[in-house]
Amino acid sequence: MAGAVAPLMLTLLTVPTYLRLVGEVRFGVLALVWLLLSYFAMFDMGLGRGTVRAMSRLRVASREERSSLFWTAMAINTVFGAVGGLILWAAARVLFASWLRVPAELHSELFFALPWLAAAVPVATNLSVMVGALEGMERFLALNALQVFGSAVFQLFPLAVARWHRPELGWLIGSAVLARIVSSIPMFLACRKFVPLSSPRELNARQGRELFSFGGWITISGLLTPVMATMDRLLIGAISGAAAVTYYTIPCNFATKFSMLPASLSRTLFPRFSAQEVEQQGELGARALLALGAVLTCAVPAVIPLVHPFFHWWIGQTIAARSSHLGEVLLVGIWANGWSWISVAQLQARGRPDLVAKFHAVEVVPFLFALWMGLKWGGAEGAAVVWALRTFMDACLVLYASGMLQRVAASFMSGLSMLTFTAVTVRFATDSLPLRVVISFGVLCLGACWTAVFARHAFPSIRRSPFFAAAAR
């Protein structure tokens, strides 16, 4: 969690400055660039996640076996990253000039940055292996400290370039990629210490096959997940232009920060799940889901009424008026999505990443059609509603496949009902700050009662308290 909170604080501090220095249109183009790069991270081919699983099973093995696994994964991902970079270089001109409707006056700035964009892909694929190795060894303190450093450099270096040199896209993107390269050096040194690494020798074909057999399905998910996670912004850019992407990206980035807890918990549990039997996974997973649901159901509904006042203070009334309602809807989807993280980690740890990939394959076409219809009929808010509905369906599927749905169905549906009611109520409320504070406090109390009724078994140390007992009765 600490490794996720620090980048959040940096984002809160830097977004207004970015908007002031580069403008809404350039900021929207930058958002599209990072979305495109996140999609090309699929050339990781699932080896990052596969490295976590394999490394966790080799924790008691010899240093040579762990080192061989690391170098094998790095070699494979270097090749795939280079291929992905070349494809991005070739495709970016068409994508940005035609489909994403980047303004013509920004084409020269953007095309100047294409070599940097191509170089960013192999850097990202190699970083995924390093992160996977440290996660597999459960070195979370070192990993998160390094990721905080990398996030700070990634956000602050381009901001310094915009402030003291020039706010052109080529310089901004190039400095961001250079910052990512610099931050990968201490990550490698940490792997060298904690894996630990010996000198690279012959690649291990057996380990390579095992990584591929696991990573193949992860790759399919890696192809489809970014489509469903980012296509809303890409379609908004194609239909409404880059400026509209800014109004959607800001609340989207704000809402996704609430995935920090489920993401952190999932990362921590995955190496443990990988070393456990299915029955042990079920017990640990059920407690984790109930505890996670308790925190999300207390926090997210209480935040929804405060989105508009916060946006007004943070980014100004003009953008807040167009973005705050989107943030309220997207928070409902983030809450539902939070329940799926643990179950996805369970399925992948059991060697069943194919189920997750198959669910995504079934979802993608109906989702894209519904997203297009939502944009046509309801604009950006329609897209946000469709995205939230998709996260609910996805959570139900993975909970069912992991065997968790029956254990948490009552808590999941009751929490969703409370959250949806809050979002609808706030949608028609006034912008009065005192009224919204009162609503926020009321749903926070409801969330605490929800925890007492549905999730008290996840907290053995406090479930015997008088408050929990009274609320449960």
Dihedral in degrees, nearest 10, Cα atoms 144, 149, 154, 160:
160
Least-confidence region, from 153-162, 198-207, 302-311, 385-394:
198-207
| Separation in Å, CA 243 to CA 26, 103, 233, 246, 391 | 8, 10, 11, 5, 26
Q: What is the sign, positive or negative, of the torsion defined by CA atoms of 133, 138, 142, 145? A: positive
pTM here is 0.70
In this predicted structure, what is the pLDDT of residue 436? 85
460 — pLDDT class (breaks 50, 70, 90):
low
Residue 431 pLDDT: 72
> Among 48, 40, 35, 131, which Cα is nearest to 81's?
40
Give me the percent of the chain exceeding a pLDDT of 90: 13
- In whole angstroms, give the CA distance from residue 459 to residue 440: 24
pLDDT at 316: 80
pLDDT at 239: 72
pLDDT tens, position by position, 249-298: 888 888 888 888 898 899 889 988 887 777 888 888 888 998 898 889 88
pLDDT at 467 over 50: no
Whether pLDDT at 102 is above 70: no
- In this predicted structure, what is the pLDDT of residue 27? 80
Q: How confident is the model at residue 97 (pLDDT cuts 50, 70, 90)?
A: low
Q: Output the pLDDT for position 155.
A: 84
Question: How does the average pLDDT of the chain come out, rounded?
Answer: 83
Which one has a higher pLDDT value, 427 or 339? Answer: 339
Q: What are the tens digits of pLDDT across the range 148-197? A: 898 888 888 888 888 888 788 888 888 888 888 898 999 999 999 999 88
Q: Once rounded to an integer, what is the mean pLDDT over residues 206-233?
A: 74
Helix (H, G, I), strand (E, B) or coil at 154: helix
pLDDT tens digits, residue range 110-132?
A: 778 888 888 889 998 999 999 99
d(CA 365, CA 340): 20
CA-to-CA distance for 268 and 108, rounded, in angstroms? 44
Averaged pLDDT for residues 351-367: 86
Which residues of 143-298 form beta strands (DSSP E)?
none
| Mean pLDDT of all residues in 377-400 | 88
Contact 213, 153 (CB under 8 A): no
Q: Where are the domains of the chain?
A: 1-203, 217-473
CB contact at 8 A, 269 and 350 = no
Share of the chain above pLDDT 70, in %: 91
Peptide bond into 251 cis (omega under 30): no
Do the beta carbons of residue 43 and residue 35 sit within 8 Å? no
**Contact assessment for residue 266 and residue 341, using Cβ atoms and an 8 Å cutoff:** yes
Give the separation between CA 160 and CA 370, rounded to whole angstroms. 41
Give pLDDT, residue 468.
Answer: 47
Structural tokens at position 129: 């292996």
Tokens 């020269």 found at: 108
